[in-house]
Amino acid sequence: MAITETFRSDLMLHEEDIKQGFWVQDDVHLSHALTPLFASFMVPAVTEGTKVAFENLKMPLSQFRYKLADGRIYQYTVPYPGDLQERLEEHKKTIGAILPLLNQHLRNYVDQEFLPFYRSLDEDSKRALTVGEAKEKLLGLFDFYRRAWQLHFEIILPRTAFIALEQMYGQLTGRADSAVVYDMLAGVMNKSLETDRELWKLSDWAKQSPVLVAAFAEEATEMGYKVRIEQTEEGLALLKRLQDVLEIYGQRSTNSHEFNDEIWAENPEYALRIIARYIKKDYDFDLEFAETVRQREAKAEEVIAGLPEMELKQTFVMMYQWALDSWGLDEDHHFYIDAMLPAKSRLFLLNVGRLLVDQGVMEDKGDIFFLYLDELLAMLSNPTPLHAQIGQRKAEYEENKLKQPTPFYGTPPEAPMDPALERIFGGKPPEIQEQTFTGYAASQGSYTGTVKVVRVPEDFSKVQQGDVLVCKTTTPPWTVLFSIVGAIVTDAGGILSHAGTVAREYKLPAVVGSKVATSLLKDDDIVTVDGTKGVVHFGQQS
């Protein structure tokens, strides 16, 4: 998408678009309202990036098209126009060559493209920029966003081929519980778990200090924990250790996909609140993770030993090893692309915002996020005060955050959803009875507990040990809650969504993609979450 006079209009969902396709609100990855500037980057990046990636992977789809309505992203999955069977054969050959090398592909792209670009962004975030440099760097970022999301899909989509493990398991055993193969993929270290472990290690260190234990014993006030602990020598030592951790793991924010949200590296309070939770509970990350690995290895040994000796078993074992080697990819690609790209971009954009403040275009550097990219480039060339317009945009953004989004526009297609996409996005309608509703059985087990509905990270503090987390969806910054809660229920996603994948790592019963959990349930309801059958029982008495 070129930055032309129609740039802003091209971002928006119009009636003509609705006539051409079925547009679904992406409530798995982008359930929140977006600022104008982030939408300016994200909509073209995914629309154009998937077109290239899908062609490179010979996908049986043409692309994902993104459009904006009421500040939220809607996605149209454009069907492949040619011979579908022929395309599927091409896709199988292409993916077959990639599967053994998935992790290596990510590492190569991270080392050769992402990290060098991030280092350049870091430099441009700290130095004074001329107007010409700012425009040049903005256009460079715009181009890189498209490249990043092309690579994002080339890295992550081949992983969906591992659903073949389910099919092979069913053929080999004759059993219907084929999702058991995902229990054989738990206990694989990834960047989200690494982050949790580093914060747990800091909390374990802090527990040795009675001063720090006392400081974290009470809930944080509006001032936060930092103000409280930096008055002591032990607190300053903890903050120094935390700073070192956040230099590596702090490139994340609440929603990941947004420029407007403060990142952990800017404000240690987010991490301190997680550390406080770990200090207050009896928890050993290393022991828990080692047990997950032990159970995974035992399950894999049991399943493989029980398979009949035939060629299909050999194929199953080979593909299982490929899957195991690359299973951390889902969280790792998020760390380096979904989270780190907007986090690094945010700091650079705030630096550009300083230029516009100096030029009198706006009052605060953060106001830059409420301009569309075409406006931003124009204002750099011809500064004009936009105080009233920015104020209106901020008000619209707050209104959009409160709106209940329309779930889709257009006529649903008659063809069933692609199974691989369903594993990620979900999509099946729930079955609602008098005291039960269904979703996807994402992580086995049953648990009865008290509901806490978490809509925004500000709600994290109300979640207590053993509660049932009920939310629309989760992203890596939510992972801290997984070591606290007893079960998870989401509105969005399939069994390979973030919530489903991480629930299995923490051995939490989980039902995902229910569509209705946050509507039917409220705080302090008592529910039973059956993660084996994908059913939630509600209306119980405490």
On average, the pLDDT of the chain sits at: 92
Residue recorded with tokens 């946050």: 518
Q: Which amino acid is at 175?
A: R
pLDDT of residue 234: 96
pLDDT of residue 4: 85
pLDDT of residue 1: 67
Element at 539 (helix H, strand E): strand 535-540
pLDDT of residue 168: 94
C-alpha span between 109 and 154 (Å, rounded): 11
pLDDT one-digit tens code per residue, 387-419: 999 999 999 999 999 998 888 899 887 766 677
- The distance from CA 219 to its chain's CA centroid, rounded to whole angstroms, is 27
Query: Which residues are CB-contacts of 15 (< 8 A; sequence separation ≥ 6)?
Result: none
pLDDT of residue 468: 95
CB 54 within 8 A of CB 61: yes
pLDDT of residue 135: 96
Burial class (CB in 10 A: 0-12, 13-18, 19+), 429: exposed
Among residues 152, 387, 498, 537, which one is catalytic?
Answer: 498
C-alpha span between 119 and 122 (Å, rounded): 5
Catalytic residue list contains 105? no
Q: Considering the domain 425-538 in this protein, what is its CATH number?
A: 3.50.30.10
pLDDT of residue 411: 86
pLDDT of residue 483: 83
pLDDT of residue 540: 76
Residue recorded with tokens 């936060």: 224
pLDDT of residue 446: 94
What Å distances lie between residue 31 and 34, 40, 407, 463, 472, CA to CA? 9, 17, 10, 21, 8
What Å distances lie between residue 500 and 125, 487, 536, CA to CA? 36, 11, 15
C-alpha span between 365 and 358 (Å, rounded): 9
CB 27 within 8 A of CB 473: yes
Nearest CA-CA partner of 445 in 503, 538, 530, 535: 530
**506 beta partners:** none
pTM for this prediction: 0.89
pLDDT of residue 144: 98
What Å distances lie between residue 479 and 341, 485, 488, CA to CA? 20, 10, 11
Query: Which residues are CB-contacts of 408 (< 8 A; sequence separation ≥ 6)?
Result: 22, 23, 24, 25, 74
What is the full per-residue pLDDT of the chain (542 aa) written as tens digits? Answer: 678 889 999 999 999 999 999 999 987 788 889 999 999 999 999 999 999 999 999 999 999 999 999 999 999 999 999 999 999 999 999 999 999 999 999 999 999 999 999 999 999 999 999 999 999 999 999 999 999 999 999 999 998 899 899 999 999 999 888 878 988 999 999 999 999 999 999 999 999 999 999 999 887 777 889 999 999 999 999 999 999 999 999 999 888 899 999 999 999 999 998 899 899 888 899 999 999 999 999 999 999 999 999 999 999 999 999 999 999 998 999 999 999 999 999 999 999 999 999 999 999 999 999 999 999 999 999 999 999 999 999 999 999 999 988 888 998 877 666 776 777 777 777 788 889 999 999 998 999 999 999 987 778 878 888 999 999 888 877 887 888 899 999 998 888 888 888 898 888 999 999 988 998 999 999 999 999 999 999 987 66
